[in-house]
Amino acid sequence: MTLELASNRETAPTSRADSPLAVRGMTVSYGQKPAVFSVDMTVEPGNMTAIIGPNGAGKSTLLKAALGILTPLAGTATVYGKPVSEQRHRIAYVPQRASVDWDFPTRVIDVVLMGLYPQLGLLGRIRPVHRARATDCLARVGMEDFATRQIGQLSGGQQQRVFLARALAQDADLYLLDEPFAGVDAATEKAIIAVLKSLRDAGKTVVAVHHDLSTVAEYFDNVFLINTHRVAEGSVEEVFQANHLQDAYGGRLAGAQMDALQLS
Amino acid sequence: MIWDALTLQLGYNATLVTLGATLLGMAAGVGGTFLFLRKRALVSDAISHATLPGVALAFMVMVALGGDGRNLIGLLLGAALSAAAGLLLVSWLSNRTRLAEDAAIGSVLSVFFGLGIVLLTVIQTMSAGRQAGLEDFLLGSTAGMLRNDALIIAVAAALTLALVLLLRRPLTLASFDPEYGTAIGQNVPRTDLAMMGLVLAVTVVGLKIVGLILIVALLIIPPVTARFWSERTDHVVLISGALGGIAAYVGAALSAAQPNLPTGPIIVLVGFALFALSLLLAPGRGALSALLRHRRYQRRVHLRQGLLALAHGQPIYEQLTLRLLRAEGYALPDGVATKAGRGRAAKALRDETRWQLIRRDPAYEAAAQQYDGLTPIETVLTADQIREIDSRIDMRGGVMA
Amino acid sequence: MNGSEFVPLSLVPMLTGIFVAVACALPGNFLVLRRQALIGDAISHVVLPGIVVAFLLTGVVSTWPMLLGAAGAALVAVLAIEGVLRLGKIESGAAMGVVFTAMFAGGVLLLEQSDTSNVHLDVEHALYGNLESLIWLDATGWGSLFDPEALATLPVELPRMAVTLLFVALFTAIFWRPLKISTFDEGFARTIGMKTGPLGLGLVIVAAIAAVAAFDAVGSIIVIAMFICPPAAARMMTNRLEYQIAWSVLFATLAAVLGYVLAGYGPLWIGMRDSVSAAGMIATVSGVILGFSALMGPHRQRGAAAPAA
């Protein structure tokens, strides 16, 4: 058994230049306490990767700092080998539901059309082809009947699906989702995961912050385990093991939970 | 002259006004702290602007009843009533409609003020000259104040301060932790109401001295200033009261001594000067010390990450990291470690490895909480514990640099 | 009412009032949605120190130095608020309160210290303006609108406010999508490369320009009312931003027209001899409109019942 984290950083099979998202030496701190410390991450292309770790382990923070939504104290992030600022058109980001003003006066279809903004520019007219595309994206998440609803009238799961539809409209290569299953109903969870899998099958890369350990193996190909530090990174079979989880979660993961995951 | 004013030797009226202002400043400082801690500082702006129509209506009513119209108690009573109406409207708009509190505050303050202006123009046409006193409520005026009015203000300020001190405990609790307050049986809505009542009292009493546009400064600036000096609610309350008292005392005295120094603005500016000094220089929360601390922290993080990268033989991507390593003599310009650098890198790696081990071990949970990537492990664990950890590292066959 | 009376006396103040109301309501929609409504409050309070400083520097009471001074003060205030927020890590309402009261106090103090007694520069004027004084002396009737000689004596506030309104409307139209997206979802806006920081500052500066151009005619308090009341009332009429903007323009216009008419003629109807402050009345009417909307607006309440998934 090797001591994964600090002493043995084997080079990942995917090189930095090819990786849809590569993070090097990322440190983000709120005040004087690091939320993320010196983290390296190399996402493999064409895969679904879950970022998992205990509460407060810096999962969302890592994602936001990589995207430039937060300013890191140290570290760099590249998307397909180039700085994030040059690759924005290849990224679709789905924020946490709670980060948005759901009282905003707008309709479902308008939110999805926001995903086409980079294409439309400041003043480009919204043409029937754009509307058709937005409606199509809504249909892929099963929300086409809600197109003219005000967003505040949707349930949590429906709001999450609208966000996913907006990301689909962006037609990106890399999809980053922050807790997409938080507070959504089972039907929505199934619908979302089906869409994400279809994206992966079409050669796209999906990275999601995830907190439900019981579904990791079922939903994802790869796992990035974090607890302020990178704990482990690799395929579900390699990484999603009792010893790594113990390393990430410490005493916070009770034996019973481990049993439920059928790992040992 | 200024010395005379500061030592209260400018006559009976000026002394009364200065004392009244000081008491009011203290009451505002203490009362404003609760408002600030509940993040509702600008509610006071709605309250103060909403006094104007009340003042004007009170004047009109008193004239209609055959009085002089300038009775201070009557005017202040009118101010209090319309301010209370404004306050009710703010909470109705923000609780019962979809408007956020800031929009509710802004609409109430501007509409009430507009209505007040309309009523003032009505009064102007009623009987020319007699309204002269009312404009003073906009910016405050203590020059040539009647002895009776000065006495009323001093007494009212003293009463307000007494009320504030009486309500200090429940208000501290409610503003620090409303949920806990509810849990121990405190009626939080009623305490909130008491807080608003205090703010209203401060506003109304301060109208004649500071004026309705600037009275909010007395409620906002001292608490914000005090917050720089302490992390404890009860200390912030006391410091804020003291700062409010000092600003009001110095301001009122200066204004009594010099003809061209209007009371309200001087009090506000003295308070602001104290704020600016605190913002920049306060230890802990002050800007200068925060900046230095952040810079120091950032350099430590970069240095540490640089050393870890050296230990792993990884390239260093960031210029700042490389520069710091070179400045410490740990690396050569091309990023290769020096002898000293290799030693420090090994130490950093060993520390980091130990840290990661104890963070995985429930037995060390308390110590692991202190992890920030920088703290030397010797400051958290005993030598015995470190030995125990090291033995585990050897057992696990990890690489010890 | 015939043209020979209406055009010289009422046309200009009424139009100016409408332009002011609409120019403030447009950026006000976004300020209200961003929970920054009180930025309007702060900006309008610092207009006074701005014009005082401009007067002290130039020694004359003329339009452009005062406009520039007011704009400069608004910019200083916005930057100071941002600075206090970042350096002091305090709530934004408190930061605004500290900055605008201090600047206002400084303005009043400077005014008292300087010799301005022989010029028309007083606090009351800056606070509630003088819409009624915008009389078009050389106008004789509707025909004057096509008479170059008469148009030359048109009060300068009207064309100035028209240009300001045009500018504000253009800004809103051009940056419509960035404003909408960054107000709704700032994180997403950043990931698609929008510069949300400069955009937010730009919005505040545009609001400041509207406030500065307006204060001379209507004073700084009605400016606050126009920033907040029409958009707030409009929000409760619809759940679509596009329609909300339209409602807010309608409400702003209605408040300006009704307010001006009520101030000018209302007192006469109830047997009083003189008119009352038009600016104050416009603010009051906008408040009444908001009140109706809050009581009866179809979308006055937050999030209607959510249908099942």
* A&B contacts, CB < 8 Å: 84
Task: Answer yes or no: is pLDDT of C249 > 50.
Answer: yes
Mean pLDDT estimate for chain A: 85
* pLDDT (0 to 100) of residue C122: 62
Q: Which residues of B touch C101 (CB under 8 A)?
A: 213-214, 216-217, 220-221, 268, 272
Residue A128 domain flag? no
**Contact A123/C174, CB-based, under 8 Å?**
yes
Residue A181: domain span = 22-96+173-254
Residue C95 domain flag? yes
Tell me the pTM.
0.87
CA distances for C92 relative to B216, B273, C81, C88, C268, angstroms = 15, 20, 8, 10, 45
Strands A222-227 and A48-52: parallel
Residue C12 domain flag? yes
Q: From start to end of B294-377, where are the E strands?
A: none
Residue A139 domain flag? no
Extract the tokens encoding B153.
């203000």
Q: Which residues of A touch C33 (CB under 8 A)?
A: 101, 104-105
Give the mean model confidence (pLDDT) for residues B132-152: 76
CA distance A219 to chain C (A): 22
C10 secondary structure, DSSP code: I
B19: Cα separation from own chain's centroid = 24
Residue A223 domain flag? yes
Q: Sheet containing A48-52: give its strands across.
A: A91-94, A174-178, A205-209, A48-52, A222-227, A229-235
* Single-letter amino acid code for the residue at C188: F
Residue A152 domain flag? no
Q: Which chains have 3 or more CB–CB distances shorter than 8 Å to chain B? A: A, C
The structural domain count of chain C equals 1
Nearest neighbour of B360 by CB, restricted to A1, A32, A246: A246
Closest CA to B40 of B4, B118, B94: B94
Q: Which residues of A touch B98 (CB under 8 A)?
A: 103
Closest CA to C238 of B111, B92, A147, A104: A104
**pLDDT tens profile C109-128:** 888 877 655 555 566 667 77
Nearest neighbour of B103 by CB, restricted to C89, C232, C280: C232
Extract the tokens encoding B316.
């260093």
User: Are B225 and B18 a contacting pair, CB within 8 Å?
Assistant: no
Contacts of C47 (CB under 8 A, 6+ apart): C70, C73, C74, C126, C211, C212, C215, C220
Extract the tokens encoding B83.
């301010």
Give the nearest chain B residue to A35 (CA atoms): B372
Distance CA B380, CA B384 (A): 12
A23: Cα separation from own chain's centroid = 14
Q: How many CB atoms lie within 10 A of CB A126?
A: 13
User: Are B257 and B5 a contacting pair, CB within 8 Å?
Assistant: yes
Distance CA A190, CA A181 (A): 10
**pLDDT tens profile A115-133:** 998 888 888 888 999 999 9
Chain A contact for C33, CB < 8 A? yes
Residue C306 domain flag? no
**pLDDT tens profile B71-101:** 888 999 999 999 999 999 999 999 899 999 9
Distance CA C157, CA B319 (A): 56
Nearest neighbour of A250 by CB, restricted to B298, B314, B365: B365
Give the mean model confidence (pLDDT) for residues B115-121: 90
Extract the tokens encoding A47.
């895969």
Closest CA to A130 of A139, A141, A117, A144: A117
Chain A contact for C178, CB < 8 A? yes
CA distance B120 to chain A (A): 39
The structural domain count of chain A equals 1
**pLDDT tens profile B216-260:** 999 999 999 999 998 888 889 899 999 999 999 999 888 888 877
Extract the tokens encoding B97.
């409609």
* pLDDT (0 to 100) of residue B398: 47
Q: Which residues of A touch C36 (CB under 8 A)?
A: none
User: Are C181 and C196 a contacting pair, CB within 8 Å?
Assistant: no
Residue C307 domain flag? no
* Single-letter amino acid code for the residue at C182: S
Extract the tokens encoding C187.
């994180």
Query: Residue-wise over C125-153: b if at least 16 C-beta within 10 A, else e?
Result: bbbbbbbbebebeebeeeebeeeeebeee
pLDDT class of A170 with cuts at 50, 70, 90: very high
Residue C251: domain span = 3-145+155-296
Domains of chain B in start order, with CATH, are 2-277 (1.10.3470.10), 288-396 (no CATH)
Nearest neighbour of A38 by CB, restricted to B305, B397, B399: B305
User: Are A112 and A165 a contacting pair, CB within 8 Å?
Assistant: yes
Task: Answer yes or no: is pLDDT of C306 > 80.
Answer: no
**pLDDT tens profile B321-341:** 888 888 888 888 887 888 888
Chain A contact for B309, CB < 8 A? yes
Nearest neighbour of A118 by CB, restricted to C192, C308, C309: C192
Distance CA A213, CA A132 (A): 38
CATH number at residue C135: 1.10.3470.10
Residue C302 domain flag? no
**pLDDT tens profile C154-181:** 888 899 899 999 999 999 999 999 999 9
A165: Cα separation from own chain's centroid = 15
Distance CA A116, CA B377 (A): 51
Extract the tokens encoding B277.
């000094």
* Distance between start and end Cα atoms, chain C: 59
Distance CA A175, CA A194 (A): 14
SS3 A234: strand
Residue C65 domain flag? yes
Using the Cα atoms of residue C119, residue C122, residue C125 and residue C126 in order, give the sign of their dihedral: positive
Q: Which residues of C touch B99 (CB under 8 A)?
A: 32, 232, 235-236, 294
* pLDDT (0 to 100) of residue B132: 56
Question: Which one of B99, B295, B349, B372 makes the best mutation probe of the A interface by having the most chain A beta carbons within 10 Å?
Answer: B372
Give the mean model confidence (pLDDT) for residues B108-129: 84
Q: Which residues of C touch B280 (CB under 8 A)?
A: 87
Distance CA C161, CA C165 (A): 6
Residue C305 domain flag? no
Mean pLDDT check: name the lowest of A225-234, B52-61, C61-70, C169-178.
C61-70
Extract the tokens encoding B144.
């040539």
Nearest neighbour of C177 by CB, restricted to A64, A102, A117: A117
Chain A contact for B398, CB < 8 A? yes
Extract the tokens encoding C253.
């216009």
Nearest neighbour of B110 by CB, restricted to C91, C221, C300: C221
Which residue bears the tokens 């409620």? B219
Pick C5 or A41 by higher pLDDT: A41
Extract the tokens encoding B308.
């870890």
**pLDDT tens profile A236-258:** 888 888 777 877 777 566 555 66
Which residue bears the tokens 């585990």? B392
Residue A186, Cβ density class (10 Å: 0-12 exposed, 13-18 middle, ≥19 buried): exposed
Residue A247 domain flag? yes
Residue A26 domain flag? yes
* Single-letter amino acid code for the residue at C272: M
* Single-letter amino acid code for the residue at A71: T
Task: Answer yes or no: is pLDDT of B360 > 80.
Answer: no
Distance CA A167, CA A185 (A): 20
**pLDDT tens profile C207-217:** 988 988 887 77
Distance CA C182, CA A187 (A): 30
Distance CA C295, CA A111 (A): 29
Nearest neighbour of A73 by CB, restricted to B301, B365, B400: B301
- Rounded (5°) CA angle C94-C99-C105: 125
Task: Answer yes or no: is pLDDT of B274 > 80.
Answer: yes
Residue A164 domain flag? no
**pLDDT tens profile B288-333:** 888 898 888 888 888 888 888 888 888 887 888 888 888 888 888 8
ipTM score for this prediction: 0.91
Write out the H or E segment, with its range, that includes residue A231. Answer: strand A229-235
**What CA dihedral angle connects B284, B288, B293 and B294, to 10 degrees?**
120
CA distances for A49 relative to A166, A201, A205, C302, angstroms = 20, 14, 8, 37
CA distances for B36 relative to B80, B264, B305, C101, angstroms = 21, 21, 40, 16
Length of chain A measured in residues = 264
Residue C287 domain flag? yes
* pLDDT (0 to 100) of residue A262: 59
Distance CA A212, CA A234 (A): 18
Q: Which residues of B touch A5 (CB under 8 A)?
A: 353, 356
User: Are B341 and B325 a contacting pair, CB within 8 Å?
Assistant: yes
Extract the tokens encoding C150.
């008469």
Residue B280, Cβ density class (10 Å: 0-12 exposed, 13-18 middle, ≥19 buried): middle
CATH number at residue A188: 3.40.50.300
Q: Which chains have 3 or more CB–CB distances shorter than 8 Å to chain A? A: B, C
Chain A contact for B173, CB < 8 A? no
* pLDDT (0 to 100) of residue B58: 93
Distance CA C95, CA B363 (A): 45
Strands A205-209 and A48-52: parallel
Distance CA C57, CA C68 (A): 12
Chain C contact for B126, CB < 8 A? no
Distance CA B58, CA B46 (A): 19
* pLDDT (0 to 100) of residue C305: 40
Distance CA A28, CA A41 (A): 14
Nearest neighbour of A250 by CB, restricted to B305, B353, B362: B362
**Contact A3/B396, CB-based, under 8 Å?**
yes
Q: Which residues of A touch C (CB under 8 A)?
A: 64, 67-69, 85, 88, 91, 93, 95, 99-107, 110-111, 114, 117-118, 120, 122-123, 150, 152-155, 157-158, 166, 170, 185, 187-188
Chain C contact for B262, CB < 8 A? yes
User: Are C155 and C165 a contacting pair, CB within 8 Å?
Assistant: no
Pick C290 or C58 by higher pLDDT: C290
Residue A234 domain flag? yes
